[in-house]
Amino acid sequence: MPLALLPVAASRALFLGLLFLFALLLSGAVQAAGASDLVAVGQLRLQSQRVAKLYLQAGLQIQADSARNQLQKATQQLETALAELAPYSRQSRMAPTLQRTQALWVELRQALKSPYTTPALQRVLAVSDDLMLASGKLSLLIEEQSEGNMGRLLDLSQRQNMLAQRLARLYLMGYAGDRSQGRQVDAEQARREFNTALGELAGARENTAAVRNALELARTQWLFFDQALVGGGSGAGTDRQSQARNVATTSERIAEVLEEVSRQYAQAYNSTQVAVAPGGARRN
């Protein structure tokens, strides 16, 4: 081969190598979201409402020691979830929303350290709602990268947990003296959305036996929680303080049950990923 042609051949080889590398990077940028990513972003949305509820609960002296301990654990869970989502900062489509979410968490974390006062509470509530909206947008972006309907069901199950915590927060706001129509409308809308989504999850044809069992337990726990929200019960236990304690307790119980629902959906989602992966066992 003439020496004069070597630079051309070398340049062509270099070009093809760079093109191949670019293709690899591009494929990594659009690869399907894993269950752990969907779970992490769901935790952000859930904890945005839960930490506000726990801050309010502690400030109202409703099982205050327990609420403060749970608040500390919830902030750690939120930190962990953000760390797991850090790789998405390299995706131009995700980066702005993730950065917004991170900034809001820094602001909320600082607000949660403030002693409980009415202005401090209003700041916590406002920033927690902003974080809920930002993490909800991030969740939609990540869900778009999931494969099949199972990713959507996993995300929906986690949104249920956020709605339950929001309902408890709205109840405690009423206990603290908020009689605004806006709060009442918000609570009623959240209840309707929860009921509608619970029915949708129960009717999903993709449900495994484990998912169905977890959903049945969630439906039962929802009945207890909903009864607490509307002040069910009779006798001396129906005073406002007892009802507020009941809401606080059942909101944590339903959080555990709904987390199990999401865990089962995550396992089912991972199974579908294995089934379609190269070399994986395919379902009939």
184-231 per-position pLDDT tens digit: 999 999 999 999 999 999 999 999 999 999 999 999 999 999 999 987
Residue written as tokens 């009415």?
118
Gap between the Cα atoms of 27 and 91, Å rounded: 12
**Taking CA 52 as the corner, what is the angle to CA 48 and CA 53, rounded to the nearest 5 degrees?**
115
pLDDT over 80 at 33, yes or no: no
Average pLDDT over residues 100-107: 98
8 A C-beta contact, residue 58 and residue 142: no
3-state SS, residue 34: coil
Average pLDDT over residues 102-113: 98
pLDDT recorded at residue 43:
97
pLDDT recorded at residue 146:
87
Residue 7's pLDDT band (cuts 50, 70, 90): low
pLDDT recorded at residue 12:
54
DSSP string covering 40-58: HHHHHHHHHHHHHHHHHHH
Q: How many CB atoms lie within 10 A of CB 110?
A: 11
- Which tokens go with 97? 């929303």
Measuring CA to CA, how many Å separate 28 from each of 2, 20, 121, 132, 216? 40, 13, 42, 28, 38
C-beta contacts of 102-109 below 8 A and 24+ residues apart: 104/130, 104/131, 104/134, 105/44, 105/78, 105/131, 108/48, 108/51, 109/75
8 A C-beta contact, residue 85 and residue 37: yes
Residues 238-263: tens digit of each pLDDT = 588 999 999 999 999 999 999 999 99
Nearest alpha-carbon partner for 93 in 21, 23, 47, 33:
33
pTM for the predicted model, two decimal places: 0.84
